Amino acid sequence: MGDMTVTTPPCVLTIAGSDSGGGAGIQADLKTMLALGVHGMSVIAAVTAQNSLGVQGYWELPAEAVRAQLDSVLGDIGAQAIKTGMLASPELVETVAVALGSYGAPVVVDPVGVSKHGDTLLVPEAVETLRTQLLPVATIVTPNLWEVEQLTSVKVEDERDLRRAADAVLALGPAWALIKGGHLPDEPVDLLTDGTSEYRFGAERLDNRHTHGTGCTLASAIASHLARGEDVPSAVEQAKAYVTGAIARGFPLGTGIGPVDHAWQWR
């Protein structure tokens, strides 16, 4: 190779569930990380059987398996940012919260509660553990409107409710909240705030039903940009641009809802 110097890219760890259909979860996370120029690593917390029609079943891993994966990756390689997704049970949420609480990297929490198809991916007891243990160690939490209601009981009916929802989420302890308004009746708008600064991100509503994996992809994109040294508002802005492009080019897969296109910038 001669005098070519090889530089290790920033490393990002995802702690989430596997999606056998490849559109969401760990698979979406790793594809997003590759697309955004970082080295993706994974701690698998649950295995799902799912396809374009929904989730047919899921099996969470034992807490010791999740803890061992965390120790392996963080103990040897380390991470410049960490993203959490589907954690299924109180025990797994607690295992992850304890590990991340003592680790210095920024943490993006995607509080996966309900899938696109309406499948519940978090048992009710785990919601409480998420609120009291994981959110306080989060740099940023990225709930959709259903997840906001699950976490805070605040129901968002229009854009005016976004700030109230964000404040209720911030009260649970994360440094930043990104309230995703994709399900608002009018134009979609996302609100990002740390309680002091406030940023709004609008996007045109794309006429494409193939949006499987949007939430996982956005959270992973934010983590990737944080690992590359961006501040939170800038990481969110760039992640939004990547996801918007991916949704615009979402493609049909199977007979249900297809995935966003993680490789849209290359195709």
CB 189 within 8 A of CB 201: yes
Catalytic choice (213, 244, 250, 258)? 213
**Cα 72 from chain centroid (whole Å):** 22
Q: Which of 215, 217, 250, 258 is catalytic?
A: 215
Q: Is 32 a catalytic residue?
A: no
**Which CA distances in Å does 71 have to 50, 160, 245?**
28, 43, 35
Of the residues 211, 240, 244, 250, which is catalytic?
A: 211
Distance, CA of 190 to CA of 116 (rounded, Å): 18
214 a catalytic residue: yes
Active-site residue identified among 113, 180, 240, 244: 180
The answer to whether residue 11 is catalytic is no
Contact call for residues 45 and 94 (beta carbons, < 8 A): no
Which entry of 216, 217, 240, 258 is annotated as an active-site residue? 216
23 is catalytic: no
In three-state secondary structure terms, 114 is strand
Q: Please confirm, yes or no, whether 250 is among the known catalytic residues.
A: no
2 has catalytic annotation: no
Catalytic residue among 84, 193, 214, 217: 214
Sign of CA dihedral 79, 215, 180, 171: negative
- 232 close to 195: Cβ distance less than 8 angstroms: no
- What are the catalytic residues? 180, 211, 213-216
